[in-house]
Every structure is written in C-alpha cells, then in structure tokens.
Structure 1
Amino acid sequence: MATDRFDVTIVGAGPAGLSAALVLGRAHRKVLVCDSGTPRNWASKAIHSYLSRDGIDPTEFREQARSELARYSGVVIKDVEVTELKRAVDHGFEATLGDASRVLSRKVLLATGVLDHLPPLPDIEAFFGTSVFQCPYCDGWEMRDRPVAAYGKRQRGFEMARALTAWFDDIVLCTDGAPGLSEKELEQLRQNGIELRAERIERLEGDNGQLQAILFRNGERLPRTALFFDMPASEQSTLAQALGCAVTSQGRIKCGQYESTSVPGVFAAGNIIGDVQLAIVAAAEGARAAFGINRALTREDFDAPNRGGAE
C-alpha cells in the first residue's frame, strides 16, 4: 500500500527539479524529489552561463541546492529512482520507487533529463568533459581561439561547425565517413574557411583528458585541442510515454502553459522538453512549472476546500 502522500512528486533532481522544489517548498507544499543520481553533466567540470553561479562545479551546485531546500520542511529528497508512475485509484498519481515503496501525490513534475550519446570513437570517455564537449555555449569560451574539430554527419555536423564560428577561427568538420551535405552547404563551409575531413577516424590522441590530435584510419594526423560533437540524446526515463504525454515531432514532451503536458496534472521541465539546453533555462522551466502546479493546487483547494491538501 502507498503510505506517504505529497502535493507533488518531482522526478529528477537537476536544475529543473531542484528549482521547482524550491518554489513549491516556499509555497507551503509537501514535495517529494526523487533523484536517480544520473545527471546529464556527469562529466562536466563546471556549469556556465548561469548568472551568479558561472563556473561552479556541478556537484557543488547540487549540494548547495539541497542545502537551501533543507530549510523547507515540506520538501523531502530521496536518492531513489521512480520505476513506475500511474494514475491513483481515487485522484492524483501513484509512484513506485526503486526501494519498492509507493507514494501518492496530487501532481507530478517530470524533470528526468536526457543522456548524451557520445561519438562512436575508442576511449572517447577519457576526453569527455575536458576537451570533448557537446555544447559550445557551455565550454566554448574556455577553448576559444584554439584549433578545434566539429564532429557530426549531415545537418548535425554542419550546424555544429557553423555554431563554432562564434568562438573559433580554426575549425575542421570531421564527418567520420560520407558527409551527406549539399553542394550549397559544402560551399558555405569553404567560404567560411572550415575544412571538411570525411576520412574515417581511428581514434583520438592525447594525455590526461586533453585532446592533442585526431588520428584517421589512413594514417594521417590532425592536430586539434578540442572537439565539439552533435549526436542524438535520449530521455533517461519512459515515464512520460507510460503516462501518455503527447510529444513533438522531435520526440520531446509537448508542453502548454506553465509547462503542463497533455495529461492533466502532469508537468515537465528541463532538457526533456527540448528548449535551449542550458542549466539556467532548465531552472527557469522548473520555476515556471512550479508556479503552474501551485496555481492549479490552490484553485482546486479554493473550489473544494475539503478535498485538497497532502495528508
């Protein structure tokens, strides 16, 4: 039997989930935050473009956030995965947790985030987060004015190479096989001084996470100090699909006002809704969702005062 009741269950404890918990905690709501411990930025050394927190270590950011949330007695954080989420028999939702316990809540916020797929290159994990990155807005400034590579095929590779021109002059687009680009795109690369290398990549070369060169299978060596890639990312959780949330043509959760999904009572925030992929944007989305959630709860309680509230 589900024993604990909350106003809101937040699935995910990144910037979106923690930000929502703060707003809801300050609104006297009883909130459960479930943290599976798999942050997208697991390899990152710093969070950037976050006003007043620029350059903060992601672990320190999460610790500070949890410390702030500890001031609000209604906010409970559990280091546990939500394995199942469904409509409760009476109203609201029932969540089954990884420790086999079950909880009830009136609303749900999905902030489960995504996981990046790394390029299929040997030992690339050793460079990821130090000299191999997926976001120039996050790490481009630190690598600025150095010789870099963009990795990606077709439109993804082209878009990444074009984006990098804001930070770099020496850019080589490595497609690791047939580029799949139009003549117009190839000409645009040439006009902007971006070299195209379609040879298959053997491996990355470097020491202590610092990229030094890209080695091709034909034996050639391309000196580079950083690589930015554009690869698909996948959702960390299938809870949204299980609940029946509508998705966009890109596979992201479709949201309406205040990050509400197509399923009444379910909200979504952070990278899973496919907006600008910055921590500060995810936090803002979490705050917006929390506002919408609290507004909905308040209106329900106002209309039926004997029915609302977590026990």
Structure 2
Amino acid sequence: MTTFSRIEPLGFDPTIPNAARVYDYFMGGKDNFAADREAARKALELAPELPMMCREGRRFLDRVVRHLAAQGIRQFVDVGCGLPTQGNTHEIAQAAAPGSRVVYVDNDPVVVAHARALLETTENTAVINADMRTPEQILGHPRLKELIDLDRPVAVLLLFMLDRIPEDDLAAGIVRCFRDAVVPGSHLAIGHSVSDLRPEATAGLADLFQTNGMISGHRHRAQQRTKADVERLFEGLSIVEPGVVYVPFWRPDHPGETTGATRIWTVGGIGRKDG
C-alpha cells in the first residue's frame, strides 16, 4: 500500500521561482516575476525548445479533451492546472459537450485564487486547493464531490505533473489511487517529459530547478523518467491508440504538420479502465 505524505501549504514568495509562473512566461503570459523570468532564461540556455514544448503540451491537452468528450466523457478532473491561459480544459470540454463538468486542482494557493477568478465562470466549473501527492484528499474534497459523480465515468488529467514526483513508487501510487477510485469506462490521461532524446538537457534542468528552488516544497529527480518508465504508469489500464507517444504524434489534427516534432521530448497517452 502506498503511503501519501502530509503536505504543508505553499506560501507566496515572488523572489523564489515558481513552476506555474515560469510556464506562464514560456507561454507569453504576464503573471510572472523577475525571479521567474531569470530562471526561465537560464532554462532556455539549456533547452531553447521549452516554449515550443509548452505550446505542444497545450495542443495535446486540447486533443485529449476533445477525444474524451467524443467518447462520452462529461466529467473531468484536471490535476495541477497551473495559471489559466487560453484553451483551458473547461473551455474545450464545454465547447465539445455542453454541460461537461470540470474540477481544476492545484496546490499553490495563489494559483488557486487566480484560477478561481478566471475559470469559475459557470456552475459546472470549480477550482480546489489540494495536492496530487494526496489523491485521496482530492477525491474526497467536498467541492469535487458536488460536481463529480465517481459512480459515473470520469477523466483524470495528469498532464506534465508527475514529472515533479521523484519517487517512482509514489508516482505509480498516485495513478493507482485515481485508477482504483473511478468506475469502468473512466480514463486517465498522462503527459510527462522524458530523458530519452535529451538526457544532458533534462539532467541540467533538474539541477537548475533544484538549485533555484523552482518547485517549492518538492524534491527532484537527478534525471527524468524514460518513455518506458511512463508506459509502466498505465499498468492496469487499456492504452488508447496510438499508445504512449511523443505528444505531437498523439492523434494530430493535421498529421502532415508536425514541424519541430523531433525536438519535443514529452510523451503522452490515455489509459481506459475496463470492466
């Protein structure tokens, strides 16, 4: 049995780089501070493709949610939502299937406050403050239970968040907890950066993030997981075609237009829970 650790609340300190704000900077947003921009610039020296990867990750989210809506899913739990940007989960889901219910989860209270102001625009959308390392608290959160019926199929989105869990058993335990809590017909989507293509860059970034304290309250791996490691996270689930692949190649809208795809070292896929 996996034991999930107690999580201390994160505080707000603009002098310490924050992953959500660095991502915002890469996406061209304005919700970032000097420390975030400096950390981002150092990261770009190691991996100048990072902004392109962030954009590809957002496109992957869009395709995943549209696919799940086409499969009849009307409930979504977006774990680790980060700062709002364009094309958020509820916008995609509710455009594809009006009435879809979406619960966003983040462990940063500042991110949650910002997200509530911008994302809770309908009665079918909520933002809760919880940590993915305590999935049982997410699943038992009163606000989630108001919107999400766990006796009906649900999609759990773990997109580019398990990267921040250094322990393999804990990452697998998080996935297993969500998998066991949902009913057959539910889906889990995972996106994850991997070390296969750019081991020097991913090792350098891990060292940079550790030095800068970018992920406050988290410890870090010396090297990212491999694609094979990510595939193992889908244990007990039926992987939806085309499998766990580099994200530009996951059901692209225009298969012939994958410019720069070979520079993307993030993989993703969807697992379906069968009966």
TM-score by length of 2: 0.31
Asked which structure has the greater CA Rg, the reply is 1
Structure 1 or 2: more strand by fraction: 1
Structure 1 or 2: more helix by fraction: 2
Greater RCO between the two (CA within 8 Å, min separation 6)?
Answer: 1
TM-score by length of 1: 0.28
